[in-house]
Amino acid sequence: MADTEQQVDVASQLMSELNIDDIGNEKATLQTLVNDAKALIIDSISPTLTEAQLIAIDSNMYTRLVKTLATAFYYDRELSSGVPMGAVIMLSHFGTKVEMWKAKQLAGGVSNVGTN
């Protein structure tokens, strides 16, 4: 399944970016946090769109947002200080891109997106 392959890839990329050793359950933990980040993003942006659609709208921003939230979860599972400001800014910006894409769809715009 493509979503699973991408999730594993994001978790692996994060392990490398954060210099996390692949010992014990670290990769499984990170994968769970990546999944949680994706669920939060989808629910926050548009629960009616699929992950594939969000990736098509802007894969770079979506992936960076997933990594940012997963990193925040990794270091503070409860987000006791709230969602990091950088993630809030990205979430807002990405939400605007999604709304613009939806408006284009309603106006009879292109059916396949790729604004990267």
Reported as a pLDDT band with limits 50, 70 and 90, residue 90 is: very high
pLDDT digits (tens, 9 = 90+) for 14-60: 999 999 988 889 989 999 999 999 999 999 999 999 999 999 999 99
Q: What is the CA 44 to chain-centroid distance, rounded?
A: 11
Which helix (H) or strand (E) is 52 found in, with range?
Answer: helix 51-75
CB 58 within 8 A of CB 115: yes
Closest C-alpha to 57, from 1, 103, 8: 103
